[in-house]
Amino acid sequence: MYVPQEQLNGRVTFYWRISRLFRTAIVFLPFSVGVFFGVLAISNFWVALTASLLFVAHRFFYTLIWPAFEHIHYRFEIREHDILVQHGVLFRKWSSIPLHRIQHVDTHQGPLQRIVGLVTLQIYTAAGSTFDGAIPGLRPQRAQELQQQIIQNRGDDGV
């Protein structure tokens, strides 16, 4: 099956790691303490400790190691008639969005992304209130280029 050519900017793994680290610190570490006490209520100390350590380990794996895999599997390409986006390691998704159906293309940049210098491109068709395709990890200039390139194409809405 055809693999789209372009990959995301390498910085995106850094961004993913940092943003997940934040969420781990704020949400998941307290949560793991909760898991510890929760399991402790049903079972003994060592089981509870193992459970919460496993939980933390899994979370760190997801934060530090997983982004590398996700980066490998995130690919996109703007072809002559459509945009292909493919992503996902466990939950894989291949998307094709015809250029002439695109309603608008948004660039989205959270504060952390701004620090790292990346931008997410969100592609909307008439299909719904959420985007049909998203390309994170783009340099702002590249995102602008892509945005211009995509939106030039016109066609009927198919509505």
Partner 1 sequence: MSDSTIEWKKVHPASVFINLVPQLIRILRGLWIIILVLFFSEENQNLFDASFFFILLILGIYRTVVHFLTLRYRLVDNFLEIKVGLFYRQQRRLDVARIQNIELRQNPLHKLFHLSELHIETAGSSEEGLLSALRIEEAQQLRVQIIEQKEVPEHPAQQEPSITLGTVDLLLYGVTSNQVGTVVVLSAIGSEVLSLINPRTAQEIASNISLQNAIGIILISFGLSWLWSCLRALLQHHRFTLSMSDHSLQTVDGLITKRKVEIPREKVQLAMLIEPWLRRLVGYGTLRIETAAFGIEDGHIRKTEAVIPMVERENFSSLLKKATPQLDADPWNETLHPAHPKALYRGIARGFLQSIIPIAVLMFIFRDQPYAPALISLSVLSVPLSILDWKGQGWLITPNSIVSRRGYVNRKTWVIDRNKIQSIHVYQSPFMRIHNLAHIVVYVAGTEIVLPDISLEQAHENYENLNHQWIIEEPKEVLEEPKEAPTHEVSLGGDHTIPFDESTIDTDIAE
Residues that bind partner 1 (CB under 8 A): 1-2, 80-82, 88, 90-101, 103-111, 114, 124-129, 132-133, 147-148, 151-159
Minimum distance of partner 1 from residue 94's CB (angstroms): 4
Q: Which residues contact 20 (CB under 8 A, 6 or more apart)?
A: 62, 63, 67
CA distances from 78 to 5, 25, 83, 149 (A): 9, 37, 5, 9
Please say whether the beta carbons of 119 and 113 come within 8 A.
yes
Residue closer to partner 1 by CB (options 26, 126) is 126
Minimum separation from the CB atom of position 117 to partner 1 (A): 13
Least separation in angstroms between residue 108's CB and partner 1 is 6
Specify the pairing of strand 6-7 against strand 119-125: unpaired
For partner 1, the closer CB: 50 or 103: 103
Are 30 and 128 spatial neighbours (Cβ–Cβ below 8 Å)? Answer: no
Choice between 42 and 157, CB closer to partner 1 = 157
Nearest to partner 1 of 45, 69 (CB atom)? 69
Cα gap 73→66, rounded to integer Å? 11
Residues forming a β-bridge with 48: none
Q: How far is the CB of 42 from partner 1 (least distance, A)?
A: 20
Nearer to partner 1, 50 or 148 (CB): 148
User: Nearest approach, Cβ of 22 to partner 1 (angstroms)?
Assistant: 14
